[in-house]
Amino acid sequence: MKIRAGYSISYDCQQPTPMIMQLSVHPSRIADLLTWDRMHCEPAIPVNTYHDSFGNFCHVIRAPKGRLTMSTDFLLQDDGEPDPVAVGANQNELEELPVDVLIYLLGSRYCETDRLSDVAWALFEKTPKGWPLVQAICNYVHDRITFNYKYASPGKTAFDAYTEKRGVCRDFAHLAITLCRCMNVPARYCTGYLGDIGVPLDVAPMDFSAWFEAYLGDRWYTFDARHNIPRIGRILMARGRDATDVAIVTSFGPCTLANFKVTTEEIASERLRL
């Protein structure tokens, strides 16, 4: 399967403004690119690219005064398979976990394990460990939270989402991650592209998507509390403890989002011309 994806994002700045951006395909998907995922800036400005401590691509710029538009358009080869399901995947004891996984058991900016620990144990103490536990958490979050873009809030935490019972995909992910960590399952936040491939077309404007990964057995598995079904064609951009670590734009000064467009669609092979 071939997927075309990209974005066009514009910001208006009152003055030259430093920014850190995470808008590139994750290094783990670079080998799948058929055309390069290169960020274009209009007007053209210097871009310093580096890998952060989580292994994501990051870009440092100084946005000029006025409007800055960042965009990309690329093609990627995908295996066309839905997210793997491994109902027998076991849950590790703490002392058995790789040390680099332990950070994903701790509370973080948007995932307040201290505030939700009692809730998690009351809900899931008797649930079989491993895959059944993580799936039960996804089911609970999927049923508890009502999705709507008008409920988006950059300051909303997992506890807020639990209390308000509404939010967007990042809120589903934050709450599920927090409940997993409370139940001693390492969980990390993911962001990327997810088009309407293999599912009915969503009439809402395309956006980046958030999901999470849980560490079971000896590997990370993808879970999606918002959609709560295996999906086809995820394109990972970044991973981290929560949305703080994978923000598409972190600005160090005032700026206003002026335009935001994301594209993700399957391309028929016979129409592809490279």
Please compute the mean of the pLDDT values over residues 224-232 and round it to a whole number: 97
Q: Tell me how far CA of residue 84 lies from CA of 60, 148, 210, 232, in angstroms.
A: 35, 27, 17, 10
CA–CA dist 185, 264 (Å, integer): 31
According to DSSP, the β-strands at 48-51 and 2-13 are: unpaired
Give Cα 155 distance to the centre of its chain: 16
pLDDT of residue 92: 96
Sign of CA dihedral 29, 31, 32, 34: positive
pLDDT of residue 270 exceeding 80, the answer is: no
Burial class (CB in 10 A: 0-12, 13-18, 19+), 274: exposed
pLDDT of residue 253 exceeding 80, the answer is: yes
pLDDT of residue 185: 98
pLDDT of residue 118 exceeding 70, the answer is: yes
Task: From 251, 260, 248, select the one nearest 16 (Cα to Cα).
Answer: 251
CA–CA dist 133, 202 (Å, integer): 29
pLDDT of residue 271 exceeding 60, the answer is: no
Q: What residues contact 100, with CB distance under 8 A and at least 6 apart?
A: none
pLDDT of residue 269: 63
CA–CA dist 202, 4 (Å, integer): 17
CA–CA dist 117, 41 (Å, integer): 44
Strand partners of residue 71: 8, 40
pLDDT of residue 194: 97
pLDDT of residue 8: 98
CA–CA dist 146, 274 (Å, integer): 42
CATH code for the part of the protein at 2-80+248-268: 2.60.40.2250
Model-level pTM? 0.95
Q: Tell me how far CA of residue 272 lies from CA of 2, 14, 197, 199, 267, in angstroms.
A: 8, 42, 17, 22, 7
CA–CA dist 177, 183 (Å, integer): 10
Q: Are 242 and 109 in contact (CB under 8 A)?
A: yes
Please compute the mean of the pLDDT values over residues 131-144 and round it to a whole number: 98
pLDDT of residue 202: 86
Q: What residues contact 195, with CB distance under 8 A and at least 6 apart?
A: 3, 5, 206, 233, 264, 265, 266
What is the per-residue pLDDT across 20-59, written as a single tens digit (0 to 9) for each?
Answer: 999 999 999 999 999 999 999 999 999 999 999 999 999 9
Q: What residues contact 161, with CB distance under 8 A and at least 6 apart?
A: 145, 167, 171, 172, 174, 175
CA–CA dist 85, 195 (Å, integer): 20
Average pLDDT, the chain: 95
Greater model confidence, 270 or 18: 18
pLDDT of residue 9: 97
Report the length, in residues, of the chain.
Answer: 274
pLDDT tier for residue 274 given thresholds of 50, 70 and 90:
very low
pLDDT of residue 97 exceeding 90, the answer is: yes
pLDDT of residue 272: 42
pLDDT of residue 66 exceeding 50, the answer is: yes
CATH code for the part of the protein at 94-246: 3.10.620.30
CA–CA dist 146, 207 (Å, integer): 17
Domain segments of the chain as ranges: 2-80+248-268, 94-246
What is the per-residue pLDDT across 153-204, written as a single tens digit (0 to 9) for each?
Answer: 989 999 999 999 999 999 999 999 999 999 999 999 999 999 999 999 888 8
